Amino acid sequence: MLALSRKLNESIMLGNDIEITILEIKGDQVKIGINAPKSVPIYRKEIYLQIQESNKEAVDGSVSLEELRKLF
């Protein structure tokens, strides 16, 4: 993991087109802004993990090819 120190209104760049800026610091909270192309999905980690779990459940509960063949 890379750890960087940034002050208010300072940024870091991820690649050529993603910029992360420190917008506000209040106590133990830091507000960040992310400027990225619309094609780049951005999620809070807890939401990302929920999506991954939902996708896994959908695959685990999917219908087998044999079951689909029986339908036709």
Q: Is the pLDDT of residue 59 over 90?
A: no
pLDDT digits (tens, 9 = 90+) for 44-55: 999 999 999 988
pTM of the entire predicted model: 0.72
User: What are the φ and ψ backbone dihedral angles of 18, each rounded to 5 degrees?
Assistant: -120, 120
Six token digits for residue 47: 């939401």
CA-to-CA separations, 10 to 6, 25, 41, 49, 61, in angstroms, rounded? 6, 12, 23, 29, 46
- What is the band of 27 on the pLDDT scale with cuts at 50, 70, 90? very high
60 versus 17: the higher-pLDDT residue is: 17
Domain boundaries, the chain: 11-71
Residue range 9-28: average pLDDT?
Answer: 97
The helix (H) or strand (E) run that includes residue 20 is strand 18-26
Residue range 12-25: average pLDDT?
Answer: 97
Query: How far apart are the C-alpha atoms of 28 and 21, rounded to whole Å?
Result: 17
